[in-house]
Structure 1
Amino acid sequence: MANSRTRLGNIVYKAPSRIHGNGLFAKVSIAKGDFIGTYEGPQAKRDGTYVLWVFEDDKQPVGRSGRNLLRYLNHHDQGNAEFDGFDLFALKDIKPNEEITFDYGGWEEE
């Protein structure tokens, strides 16, 4: 079970993905609603690989250049996780070795 005190590397790992390149996979069972981790890295000045943008009402978007394992998240229209700011939470129960995905919200390139 994931919680805010669990080290990210203890609950997820990077591996080849059927979706695209490398992906992020669960090492352990993660319950719906569980905190998975925080997207960490320096503030981004422009868009690029592994940059996550957070948009809040009436504020300038804030981006981070991913430096931890969450940078390997892939897109899926019906992802099993979602961000609240830079914090990632499970939208449903995720089994060990299941890829963790989220909906890029229309930002993925075609």
Structure 2
Amino acid sequence: MPKKSRKIERRQSSIHGNGVFATAPIAKGEKIVRYKGKVRRHEEVDEEYAGFDETGHTFLFSLNEEWVIDANIDGNVARWINHSCNPNCEAVQEEHPKGKKHKDKVFIHALRDIAPGEELSYNYGIVLDEPHTPALKRLWACHCGSANCTGTMLQPKRRPRSGNRR
């Protein structure tokens, strides 16, 4: 039987489907939960899910350029934390001390104090290589309802920096 955190629980969300909610006060900076799932190579995940229609719903969390956490397999409650344009949490990657990238971990930390009953959220930071067409923006639509909602979970493309910055 899965271990249940005393400070969070999964239940229906007004943002999207299931969500994760605080059941007790959570302090700013607190490490809330680890994002768990089977660690797999990107190529393996791409091949396995290639036949599925894209739905804008994912339990995949990229660790680095080679590895991804697939919370569809052995995932925990963290997979139900929804995206928000005004998040109260952030995903923090902890690198393995010996540089074994497949052993890196992701933890969800509180960006601010969170009250009991409040839904946890973080910015998924989804960056796609292909152009952000209206269809892709609809597919990856955001329903967080915050005043600064961009309407999409897609983030602006990263631009290469020119020159050296200090």
TM (norm. structure 1) is: 0.81
* Separation (CA, whole Å) in 2 of partners of 1:61 and 1:80: 28
Matched, 1:24 2:20: yes
Q: Which amino acid aligns with 1:87?
A: F
Contact 1:33 1:91 in 2 (8 A): yes
Mark the runs of 5 or more structure 2 residues left unpaired by the alignment.
50-57, 94-105, 128-138, 142-166
Mark the runs of 5 or more structure 1 residues left unpaired by the alignment.
1-6
Pick closer, same or farther for the CA change 1:21–1:13 going to 2, 3 Å.
same
- Structure 1 stretches (4+) deviating beyond 4 angstroms? none
Higher strand share: 1
Q: How many residues align?
A: 100
Partner of 1:93: 113
Higher helix share: 2
Matched, 1:64 2:57: no
Matched, 1:52 2:61: yes
Larger Rg: 2
Q: Which amino acid aligns with 1:62?
A: W
SS at the partner of 2:79? helix
1:8 Cα deviation (Å)?
A: 5.2
* Highest RCO, 1 vs 2 (Cα 8 Å, sep ≥ 6): 1
Contact 1:8 1:37 in 2 (8 A): no
TM (norm. structure 2) is: 0.55
